[in-house]
Amino acid sequence: MSREYGYGRVSAKDQNEDRQIIAFQELGLKDDMIFIDKASGKDFARPEYQFLRRLLKEGDTLFVKSLDRFGRNKQEILKEWQHYMETGIHIVVIDIPILDTRKYKDLGSIGQLITELVLQILSWLAEEERMNTRQRQTEGIAAAKAKGKHLGRPRKGFDSLTREQRVLFNELYPKWKANEITATAFMTEIELNRSAFYKVVKEYEQTA
């Protein structure tokens, strides 16, 4: 008896997979037939996908919401697609109706040629977009650095304080060192938590 499965992927743990799950449910797939990975699409070394791949048998159908949710590497996508065609497993990309191997099962080699050509074009476009996105990110970082912008995690030292915080710090630091105010009162006045406060103090004292 043939079975139908859904496979979804998000690239980070904080992304939401609900849109893909809803698409599978609208096709009538049960929750236990839906597999979701929270991993990069650079290759297919993903735990849920590999488990599902072992479950798939001839005559089964694998649904994916979109090509980029299946994968992002052109050669890897083509390799997986070829595996399913050779083993008699149907694969359907919901957002791209032409990528539905069930439509070509009676066309033999012609049907295989059609899906391979379409897949070649679409996977190439997906990879080009991924490379373009990476290039834009690289160029954006270079431009920001050229303008002197600090990228990455925010600094916690004295220079990260606002003008008002620096003024208050300079006023209160001597009082704190003279035990006229407590550290808690000091950090409350300049609105810093304990960790950030002592990092600021350390940097201040090193440059004083």
Q: Which residues pair with 100 in a beta bridge?
A: 92
Report the alpha-carbon angle 112-118-119, nearest 5.
Answer: 85
Listed residue (111, 113, 112, 64) closest to 91, CA to CA: 64
Helix (H) or strand (E) holding 91: strand 90-93
66 labelled catalytic: no
SS3 90: strand
Q: How far apart are the two ends of the chain, measured CA to CA in Å?
A: 77
Q: How far apart are CA 158 and CA 143, in angstroms?
A: 26
CA 206 to chain centre: 40
Active-site position among 11, 66, 109, 160? 11
Contact between 83 and 90 (Cβ < 8 Å) = no
Report the alpha-carbon angle 6-13-17, nearest 5.
Answer: 35
Return the active site residues. 11
